[in-house]
Amino acid sequence: MIIRPGAIGDIIVTLPALGTIRDHFPDAKIEVMGYPPLLEIIKGRFYADTISRFDQSDIAYLFMKDTKIPESLMKRFGGMDLIISFISDKDRILSGNLEATGARCVIHYDPFPSGDECVHIVDHLLKSLDTLGISYANKIPKVFLHEEDIHFSDDFIRDRIIVSKKILVAIHPGSGGRQKCWSVERFAALMNWLNREIESHIFVVSGPADGEIIKKLTAKVKDNFTLVDHLSLPKLAAVIRRCNLFLGNDSGITHLAAAMGVHTLAIFGPTDPNVWGPQGEQVKILYKKAHCSPCLADIRKNCSTQICLESIKIADVMHEIRSRLL
């Protein structure tokens, strides 16, 4: 069992570690515990045989000190040969309770590098396997699609494109935090340029936290794009895979695009791309380090200037798009 609750990006950057585990234990039954809508991207797709919910009520007992663990958890976790937990557990309460279930081997590994450690998150997570003596080489996340995902994307795009020769561009203007987002005005100007100069068909990806951004973007671009929302992650990945280019902020969707092998332009500002940048052979990170970047989350929330993002101009992004599409 791999316990890995987290957002989309957290799952994607864990894929090289999950893939190494699968390669080392090819006949094992691997269960990943987290948030099922996000784990659909790995269920039955090489990495995991089954997935399960981390947010079920009885899991709370595992975080209680000196507690009586329910029999249901004793049976469930006690039957595991190996549990790897990617959850912060400084007091080792979770680790102790998992060991108390009778699981043969429990490995706890902090999901975040220490503050003074400048290591990419993918490399950090792969180091969790050192305890098992498992070697690893592949550090590029990869997502596997089913035939039904591919057929869906074919139909989705065919039904929405009138001129088949247009270049397909996917854009995600949002992120898990508004402080990591390039301005809506610049996304809108870029989209108008793409429609006018590049003859593109633009797919705008919208997540649960992007409603306000999409509303503002629509007011500035009108209906000159196709909104992509309410899709499962595998279907969204399949649609992005069909695009010639993806543009996004520091977000999980940008990591997903990179994992699909699409030409990916990632705009970074307050976070360190050396740690959090998407990995892939077709990835270009646009980052202009300011005197105050990268910054801590608390400082980021109160930043009013965002000079790190403001320094990335529309012309910079246009140049990168031309070099990849023209």
- Name the residue among 206, 209, 212 with its Cα closest to residue 184: 212
Out of 3.40.50.2000, 1.10.3720.10, 2.60.40.10, 3.40.50.10320, the CATH code matching 2-132 is 3.40.50.2000
Instruction: Give the residue among 273, 235, 229 at the shortest CA–CA distance from 251.
Output: 273
pLDDT of residue 309: 95
Q: How far apart are the first and last CA of the chain?
A: 46
Fold classified for 147-325: Rossmann fold (3.40.50)
Query: Which residue's entry shows tokens 């399949």?
Result: 238
Contact predicate 173/202, CB 8 Å:
no
Reported in sequence order, the residue ranges of 140-234 that DSSP labels E, i.e. its strands, are 167-172, 200-205, 226-228
In the chain, where the domains are located: 2-132, 147-325
Pairing assessment for the beta strands 264-267 and 283-286 based on DSSP bridges: parallel
Phi, psi of 191 (to 5 degrees): -65, -40
Domains 2-132 and 147-325 in one fold: yes
CA angle 82, 86, 89 (to 5 degrees): 105
Please report the pLDDT score of residue 239 as a whole number.
98
CA gap 44, 65 in Å, rounded:
35
Do 4 and 34 meet the contact criterion of CB atoms below 8 Å apart?
yes
Tell me how far apart the alpha carbons of residues 139 and 43 are, in angstroms, rounded to a whole number.
Answer: 20
Does this model's pTM top 0.85?
yes
Per-residue pLDDT of the chain (326 residues; tens, 9 = 90+): 999 999 999 999 999 999 999 999 999 999 999 999 999 999 999 999 999 999 999 999 999 999 999 999 999 999 999 999 999 999 999 999 999 999 999 999 999 998 777 899 999 999 999 999 999 989 999 999 999 999 999 999 999 987 777 899 999 999 988 889 999 999 999 999 999 999 899 999 998 889 999 999 999 998 889 999 999 999 999 999 999 999 999 999 999 999 999 999 999 999 999 999 999 999 999 999 888 888 767 777 777 778 999 999 999 999 999 999 88
> Shortest CA distance to 121 belongs to which of 275, 254, 261?
275
